[in-house]
Amino acid sequence: MRRSVNLLLLLTLLLSGISYRAEAQFFKKLFGGGKKTQKKAEPVKKKTITKPKPVTTTKKPDPDYPKSEIKSKYRIDVFAHLYLNELVKDGKPVFKGKLPDKATNGLDFYEGIKLAADTLNMMGYNVDVHVHDVAEASHTPSALIMRKQLDSSDLIIGAVNNVYVKTLSDFAASRKKNFISALSPSDAGITNNPYFILLQPTLQTHCEWIMSSVSKKYKNIAPLLLYRTNVPVDSNAYAYLNPVEGMVKKVFCNVMPTKEKLKPYLDSTRTNLLVVAILDATFAENFLQQLNDWFPNYNFEVYGMPSWKGMGILKKPDAFPKVAVYITAPFYFDISTGIGQAVANGYKKDVGGSKPGEMVFRGYETLYWYTYLLNKYGTIFNEKFSDNAAAPFTRFEIKLKKDKADKKLYQENKHIVLYRYQSSSFIVEQ
């Protein structure tokens, strides 16, 4: 397959490091105005009274960021699971056909990073991009930190699993530089770190968004909530949905519910609204098929979990014609747009094959947008996240997350889009 050969040969360059350079331009707007003049009144002599000076306290901003550093050139370090030592031997690709699944996300993310770096280079940005394969022992975050090879980094981007998230986050906080976690939705238990930016929203954020959306859209309908407690992540989802007693109907589903158990809650004369707090895509697929088979004359609108997006059955012709399935996601990439076509064409030129996968677009927009912020505002751009118009695809909504005690935790992307699947097609509600 051309994709595997071309991409792996391209990746051998990583062993010696990758660097993209160009010239950055900075623009400054000056705001000012004339001073207002006012006629002075005649002075009136008064008896001087000495008053104690009030004690003034200046409240520090929360978070209290250091002054942003503006540079003529910035260094960005990117981490991903590439498995180069397994895929490339003596400069030649080991696999002649399909690449291993474990390497696909990292390689696609890298290709998006490369395409963005090429674009930024042509636009005149002055950045050095260094890519690290965390699957190689000498390139793990801990190894690079120990050798002080990340000390000069101005921004860290990681398409890594939660094993490496805390290490990179702690290092970023110690240096007061930002770490962008671009893959994992896990916060790794991180607290009090405003330099940790989670692009993939947590399950809690998804669940809260679902209940808020349902309550606004279906004001007079109490949804039927299906949940189970024998799987920890499902128990968490149920807790995050925070169902209010009397406002929802609940069905306990530690095992697949039967037709007889569901029927009393359903109505053939109207659309039935369900929220399913179960992340297992196989369980969800079986449940949707049962709904379709047991109640062929009923109409359903089912809100599922973000993990359902990978269910292949949703894309099959005539799948569940009476069941509309809603799935939340933080990203939507429209390949028909100008920038979408540019990424697709660049991908085809580099590696061949069909259209690029989601991780290519995610790598592209992550490097592109954060390099834009870095060049415009310097190393501390954390209070400028509202400047998202330059993001190629996703209008990121980065917000400081706090716990119930108002203690700051980290920065999280709150941007959610809603995919609606029915009869093998889908639309996106943004």
DSSP per position, 175-186: HT-EEEE-S---
Q: CB under 8 Å to 309, separation ≥6 — which residues?
A: 327, 329, 419
- Helices then strands, counting H and E runs in the chain, come out as 11, 16
Confirm if 320 and 71 have CB atoms less than 8 A apart. Answer: no
pLDDT digits (tens, 9 = 90+) for 298-323: 999 999 999 999 888 888 877 888 89
C-alpha distances out from residue 66 to 60, 76, 370, Å: 12, 19, 18
Chain mean pLDDT for the chain:
86
Confirm if 304 and 284 have CB atoms less than 8 A apart. Answer: yes
Residue 195, pLDDT > 80, answer yes
The secondary structure of residue 283, as a DSSP letter, is H
pLDDT digits (tens, 9 = 90+) for 206-223: 999 999 999 999 988 999
* Distance separating alpha carbons of residues 137 and 425, to the nearest angstrom: 43
* Distance separating alpha carbons of residues 165 and 186, to the nearest angstrom: 8
Residue 15, pLDDT > 70, answer no
Question: What SS3 state is found at 255?
Answer: coil
- Write down the pLDDT at residue 425: 86
* Distance separating alpha carbons of residues 103 and 14, to the nearest angstrom: 15
Helix, strand, coil abundance in the chain, percent, nearest 5 = 35, 20, 45
Q: What single-letter amino acid sits at 151?
A: D
Q: CB under 8 Å to 130, separation ≥6 — which residues?
A: 17, 18, 19, 75, 76, 77, 78
Confirm if 342 and 356 have CB atoms less than 8 A apart. Answer: no
Residue 38, pLDDT > 70, answer no
* Distance separating alpha carbons of residues 163 and 28, to the nearest angstrom: 41
Q: CB under 8 Å to 417, separation ≥6 — which residues?
A: 328, 329, 330, 331, 332, 428, 429, 430
Provide the H-helix boundaries in 295-430: 338-351, 358-377
Provide the H-helix boundaries in 88-157: 101-123, 141-146
Partners of residue 328 on adjacent β-strands? 418
- Write down the pLDDT at residue 361: 97
| Domains recognised in the chain with CATH numbers | 2-16+64-201+334-396 (3.40.50.2300), 203-329+419-429 (3.40.50.2300)
Give residue 58's pLDDT band: very low, low, confident or very high (50, 70, 90): low
pTM: 0.85
- Write down the pLDDT at residue 42: 43
Unique residue bearing structure tokens 């002054």:
67
Structure-token pair, residue 253: 């589903």
Q: What is the mean pLDDT of residues 359-387?
A: 97
Peptide bond preceding 63 in cis form (omega within 30 of 0):
yes
Q: What is the mean pLDDT of residues 378-387?
A: 96
Q: What is the mean pLDDT of residues 409-429?
A: 93
- Write down the pLDDT at residue 91: 80
Residue 324, pLDDT > 50, answer yes
pLDDT digits (tens, 9 = 90+) for 139-189: 999 999 999 999 999 999 999 999 999 999 999 999 999 999 999 999 999
Unique residue bearing structure tokens 């024998």:
230
